[in-house]
Amino acid sequence: MKTDFESLARKIGVEFTDLALLRMACTHRSFLNENKGTGLEHNERMEFLGDAVLELIVTSFLFKKYPHKAEGELTAFRSALVNTVSLTKVAEHIGLNDFILLSKGEAKDLGRARNIILANAVEAVIGAVYLDQGYNTAANFISEHLLNVIDIDEIVKNKTWIDAKSRFQEKAQEKVGITPSYKTLKETGPDHNKQFTLGVFLGDVQIATGTGASKQEAEQQAAEKALEIKKW
């Protein structure tokens, strides 16, 4: 973990007037629970602001880029650009993980929970940039670190803006005339922290399995794997 936020500001190409805003954007609530009396604020309010700024700038970008697309498609494209997966890629692009202030417990978790923290922190950084430097600088940051990193044309071409379960069903019906089915194979863990393993089937043939904290999450993972296995 680094606390040299000047180096982070240089990495993202923004010259902050108030560097404390960037530090706040990188401060997770769990860090303050372990470090009381620091006088710092966590990043949730900044995340709230950044989320709105991000949505407006991405919406404007898509509106201009696809003048003939309907509202529903544009909404789906926007979701693909601002979801956890895309924002985690932004975090990786700017090396944000090295600067997030976390509790010792949260710092050990490198799975999906960390990706959510990173995605939220990206939104908080956008909020900090907007507060310190205004709309145009925030738009430039989003253009450079999101819109130039995530290939929206590829997303549109391959229909990856459609969720994996829907894509697998569409392809299965098109290729083999079968609607996929999903079956729970295993449940593990206590009620408050269950893990579900589900299989996706074409007829009686199991194509892939997926695991998640909910059946819906496990189904999506199974469908993603099935698309890879079938090369669809």
Catalytic residue set? 51, 123
CB-side neighbour CA atoms (13 Å) of 159: 12
| Paired tokens of 20 | 């404390």
CA distance 214 to 223: 14
Task: Evaluate whether 27 touches 40 at the Cβ level (below 8 Å).
Answer: yes
For residue 59, give Cα distances in angstroms to 45, 62, 123, 129, 133: 22, 5, 15, 18, 20
Q: Of 28, 52, 51, 32, give the one whose Cα is nearest residue 114.
A: 28
CB-side neighbour CA atoms (13 Å) of 51: 12
